Amino acid sequence: MKVTVVGAGAVGATCADNIARKELCSELVLLDIKEGIAEGKAQDMMQTAALLGFDTKIVGSTNDYSKTADSDVVVITSGLPRKPGMTREELIGVNAGIVKSVCENILKYSPNAIIIIISNPMDTMTYLALTSTGLPKNRIIGMGGTLDSSRFKYQLSQHLNCSPADLNAVVVGGHGDTTMIPLIRLATWNSVPVTKFLSAEQQEQIVKDTMVGGATLTALIGTSAWYAPGASGAALVESILRDEKKLFTCCVALDGEYGQKDICLGVPVTIGRNGWEKIIDFELNADEQAAFDKSAAAVRGMNDVLKTL
């Protein structure tokens, strides 16, 4: 198996590191437009192989897409990250051009690849990748809800004083600070609804902290976070290559599901060897569906900006 990660910055390098440590593929290509950075980080990671005991061969490339040929999965992280005070949406102008050209270059050498989009604004970049490549919809997966759901579990675990791994909790909708919807009504602690253990105030706080999870870290670090985003990308790669059919919230093309069409938005999907394979209907209640529709309207507005670029 072969995987390419485009963008050897904070998120791309962390994602690649996770993929290599787990030996998800025999060859891993890290590609960046900036001279030398991908080769340098690839070599640095290879120098951990003897210590960590993995066999994945990591190759760096400065914009030479021939090295990415015949990749089974490609993770796109190239583009600007946000700085403190910025929204993800402000990145659209620069990142749309990057994501479109990266997709074109990738498909020249790996026409059968499954593509995971991480670059922001992720919902719109996923829609752009889908519409500009014309690939079957199951091969384009946006990574946002996977991260947001993991952040949701972290926030819940802090209030419940429990292991995040014992929690089932998902965030659906867009990947923006105001468009994501943490579904606290459906969250469980080993199958018991978390709402049984949390006051209304605590629930409200958890939802609020989850929604601004990325912005909180951007303010603390000075740029957007990378450990959980990189691990989230690698978790999707793992579910694809090992055909695990795990359930993740991913940004995928909707065709009537959750009441929406002609849009890519975060919903629970199974991830396996064919990319995203099945959308699971969580039967939102009226309030949740209204929030989902509002989220879709905001993302649609952002998608419309693509026409003006």
Ligand X SMILES: NC(=O)c1ccc[n+]([C@@H]2O[C@H](COP(=O)([O-])OP(=O)(O)OC[C@H]3O[C@@H](n4cnc5c(N)ncnc54)[C@H](O)[C@@H]3O)[C@@H](O)[C@H]2O)c1
The residues of the shown chain that bind ligand X, judged by CB under 6 A, are 6-12, 32-34, 37, 77-82, 91, 95, 98, 102, 118-120, 122, 143-144, 147, 175, 224-226, 229
Least distance from ligand X to the Cβ atom of residue 8, Å: 5
CB-nearest residue to ligand X: 9
- Establish whether 139 is an annotated binding residue: no
Question: Cα–Cα distances in Å, from 156 out to 67, 153, 166, 215?
Answer: 43, 5, 11, 18
* SS3 call for 4: strand
What distance in Å separates the CA atoms of residue 107 and residue 109, rounded to the nearest whole number?
Answer: 5
Catalytic residues: 175
Q: Which residue, 143 or 241, has its beta carbon nearer to ligand X?
A: 143
- Establish whether 12 is an annotated binding residue: yes
Cβ contact 121:91 at 8 Å: yes
- The two beta strands, 2-6 and 73-76, are parallel
- Establish whether 95 is an annotated binding residue: yes
Least distance from ligand X to the Cβ atom of residue 145, Å: 9
Least distance from ligand X to the Cβ atom of residue 128, Å: 13
Question: What number of other Cβ atoms are within 10 A of residue 259's Cβ?
Answer: 11
Q: Which residue, 91 or 194, has its beta carbon nearer to ligand X?
A: 91
Angle at 16 between CA 166 and CA 68, to 5 degrees: 135
Q: Which residue, 149 or 203, has its beta carbon nearer to ligand X?
A: 149
What distance in Å separates the CA atoms of residue 157 and residue 141, rounded to the nearest whole number?
Answer: 28
Least distance from ligand X to the Cβ atom of residue 75, Å: 10
What distance in Å separates the CA atoms of residue 75 and residue 85, rounded to the nearest whole number?
Answer: 27
Q: Which residue, 103 or 160, has its beta carbon nearer to ligand X?
A: 103
What distance in Å separates the CA atoms of residue 242 and residue 300, rounded to the nearest whole number?
Answer: 33
- Establish whether 93 is an annotated binding residue: no
Least distance from ligand X to the Cβ atom of residue 32, Å: 4
- Establish whether 9 is an annotated binding residue: yes
Residue at token pair 């593509």: 115
* SS3 call for 251: strand
Cβ contact 179:145 at 8 Å: no
- Establish whether 7 is an annotated binding residue: yes
Q: Which residue, 160 or 181, has its beta carbon nearer to ligand X?
A: 181
Handedness of CA 93, 99, 102, 104 (dihedral sign): negative
Amino acid in position 45: M
> Residues within the annotated binding site for substrate?
82, 88, 120, 151
> Residues within the annotated binding site?
7-12, 32, 82, 88, 95, 118-120, 151
